[in-house]
Amino acid sequence: MTHPYDSLTPDCVVDCLESIGLVSDLRLLALNSYENRVYQVGIEGGDPVILKFYRAERWTDAQILEEHAFAQELVDHEISVVAPESIGGETLHHVLGQRFSVFKRRGGYPPELDNLDHLYRLGQTLGRIHRVGGAASFLHRRALSPSRMATESRLFVKTDFVPLELQSAYSTLAKDCDQAATEILSAMTTDDLQRVHGDCHVGNILWRDDTPHFVDLDDCISGPVVQDIWMFLNGDRNQREQQLAEFIEGYEEFNDFDVRQLSWIEALRTLRIMHHAAWLARRWSDPAFPKAFPWFSNQRFWADHILELREQISAMQESPLQLQRS
């Protein structure tokens, strides 16, 4: 079976780069990226750059360019986001059957979520991002959807990927999770949806010079602002509420936060858990995925996944986190 990335050889990467006027010194480093292919490429007489090759048929050109425009809008507001470089007036290039963009290389390390000062600064930066994000709407990017992330996900994996002996338990539990999350998120209205990062975890943040630099807006969507917040909260309930208070204190210096969105956190977590399993299943024909995620095809993964969904049923029934404003 052929795959769109089969032709993306080192020579192809270099040819793509040089087709837009950048000369490679042939130093090539593949970075840990699977949805797209991402390389650090050395440049003669200059700093290395990052090349991101977009997965075929995932996004339209219009959706990618809208992501790029959002990133540049944030940069124009002096927010620390890594936006694609404009080369020859273009940020999205089409060469040799590939679509790619060029980014400056940024160094840094993940933020420390047990460091309250880091959380405060993350809150400040995300408050600024959301203030800009709320000033306009996406025309082409998707909106957060329980139907797409939960219903379509469980139906996709249940027959061909869930082991036979676990299919009954999975089907029942996944349907219950889907219904519970959908009911909770039915409280969302179009007024609650705005431009957000969409995949705000520590792997997409580079901490440098006491500043968080946000990268990879590939999953930016129209969604509630809490979608970009909940993944920063971890530990027991008291710890999460302490983290939330510190984060929102920084956040509200630049943007208001609607506390009713706290009741959506566990439903959003459920959607992400279900969507992640389906994402792996949909990408399983890509040779990079079995190599990177060999445990996905094991029965143990699905047993643990079912347990995680069972825990989410309980979590969605609990009272939401309480925000203690200072």
Active site residues: 199, 216
| Strand residue runs (E) in the chain | 24-30, 37-43, 46-53, 93-95, 98-104, 194-196, 205-208, 211-214, 221-223
Q: How far apart are CA 88 and CA 79, in angstroms?
A: 24
* Residue labelled with tokens 């390390």: 109
Task: Give the CA angle between residues 75, 90, 57 to the nearest 5°.
Answer: 95
The DSSP code for 257 is: -
Contact indicator for 212, 122 with CB cutoff of 8 Å: yes
Q: How far apart are CA 97 and CA 293, in angstroms?
A: 27
Longest dimension (CA), the chain: 60
Q: How far apart are CA 5 and CA 55, in angstroms?
A: 8
Exposure of 120 by Cβ count < 10 A (0-12 exposed, 13-18 middle, 19+ buried)? middle
Contact indicator for 177, 309 with CB cutoff of 8 Å: yes
Half-sphere exposure of 30 (CA within 13 A, CB side): 10
Contact indicator for 288, 34 with CB cutoff of 8 Å: yes
